[in-house]
Amino acid sequence: MVGEPLFIRPADHGARILVVDADPLARRSLRAMLERGYYQVETVEGGAEALAILPSFKPDLVVLDIQMPGWMAKRSAAGSASCRRVYRCPSSS
């Protein structure tokens, strides 16, 4: 199977995916992979930017780095707090 093209099934409905990660390389890599699958992708650096874009982008899926630095003193808690805030956002339901 070496040399055969990678099969990518186009998304049935062009799902919107929001990628939230502090690492620019991770954001670029995820965007490239997801766009190859015909998904609509937006990337942001942190939780505050994610909350700001939710009302206009209305993602079907949020890919969130739960260990990103930011909102709390402990790194491991920052991603969890971001996840809870995204979940509570009225436009994300």
- Domain of 34, CATH number, reads 3.40.50.2300
Let me know if residue 37 belongs to a domain.
yes
Mean pLDDT by 10 residues, the chain (93 residues): 58 81 94 90 90 90 78 50 65 51
Domain assignment of residue 28, yes or no: yes
Report pLDDT digits (tens) over 56-73: 999 989 998 877 665 444
Annotate 23-51 with b (16+ C-beta within 10 A) or e (fewer).
Answer: eeeebeebbeebeeeebebbbbebbeebb
Q: Is the separation of the CB atoms in 20 and 64 below 8 Å?
A: yes
In-domain check, residue 80? no
- Number of domains the chain contains: 1
63 within a domain of the structure (yes/no): yes
Instruction: Decide if 49 is inside a domain.
Output: yes
- pLDDT at residue number 16: 93
Phi, psi of 49 (to 5 degrees): -65, -35
Which domain range does residue 33 map to?
A: 16-74
pTM recorded for the entire structure: 0.69
Is 51 a domain residue? Answer: yes
CB contact at 8 A, 27 and 19: yes
| pLDDT given for residue 74 in this prediction | 46
User: Can you give the pLDDT at residue 37?
Assistant: 83
